[in-house]
Structure 1
Amino acid sequence: MSLAQVGEERLLELQELEELKLEAYKNSITYKEKTRMIHDKGLVRKDFKVGQKALLFNSRLQLVLDKLKSKWLGPFEVVDLFPYGIVETRSLETGKEFKMNGHRYKIFNEGEVNLARSSLVLTSPSIT
């Protein structure tokens, strides 16, 4: 092989490596977009309205000492909504108002739950 031919082949190999790198970069971008879309689809939107009731997450709960203690405090009444997810609530027990991050709240659904109960009698086959 001549020196010019070897140099040309080396340039072709470098060009091929560059193309593979660009293709891998594009594939990683599409993968990130798809995983972000799947993640965002699984998120639950919490759209609070003024006058609605909400429960506050108790972050100071010590799981070892109080295993049966509830993680949620409340209910609280939503008084005002601010930008960037800040929610102002009023305690129904004390009437005290305070602002907190909306991620620490969940919507309180009050009312009766109708559970349809059905019974099934199991009998063992008689052995004679």
Structure 2
Amino acid sequence: MVALTEHPPDVDIESSSFDSELSTEDHHDHQLLELEELRDRTYTQSGCYKQQVKELQDHKLEGIDQFKCGDMVVWYNSWFRLFPGKLRSRWSGPFIITDVFPDGTIEIKDKGGTFMVNGDRLMHYIGEPMTDQTVEVFYLDPLYEM
């Protein structure tokens, strides 16, 4: 019975074929050495790939956690349990940074006042700038008047 096997593209099939001059034990040792060389080469290639991916990811993350005064941020409030549930967002904001301390504490302000939070719980706000515009609602139907 003939078994078909697929070989990796790096392996030369002719060099790994059975040579009549080699004994069975020598041939087995030769195949084990080839397998070990292939495993070593794969290990080094995966290390190079991991290094390249790490450098790429680090390059994308440069300066992302640098907060400056005047930046708009959102705050992860882990104590917020007013409406418990899976779909309730715990990110509050946006807030404006008023002061940055060297120990990682950041002072933020909103309409209610200023308070200090841990910088690890903040994330840059990506959205429209805050405005203090009020919207007046006019009900034309007398049924909906309050």
**TM-score (ref. length: structure 2):** 0.50
Take 1:107 and 1:46, find their aligned partners in 2: how far apart are those partners? 12
Return the offset for 1:25.
Answer: 0.5
Q: What percentage of residue pairs aligned between the two structures are identical?
A: 15
Deviations 1:53-89 (A, max 9, x none): 3321467799x79xxxxx7613322423345xx3421
Matched, 1:37 2:55: yes
Q: Is the 8 A contact 2:73 2:96 kept in 1?
A: yes
For residues 57 and 96 of structure 1, the distance between their equivalents in structure 2, rounded to whole angstroms, comes to: 13
d(CA) in 2 for partners of 1:76 and 1:40?
27
Aligned length: 104
User: In the alignment, is residue 104 of structure 1 matched against residue 126 of structure 2?
Assistant: no
Match of 2:93 among 73, 94, 102: 73
The offset of 1:97, in angstroms, is 1.7
Relative to structure 2, which stretch is displaced further, 16-25 or 39-48?
39-48
Point out where structure 2 has 5 or more consecutive residues left out of the alignment: 1-19, 130-146
TM-score by length of 1: 0.55
| SS of residue paired to 2:111 | coil
> Does the CA contact (< 8 Å) of 1:76 and 1:91 recur in 2?
yes
Q: Please say which structure displays the higher CA radius of gyration.
A: 2
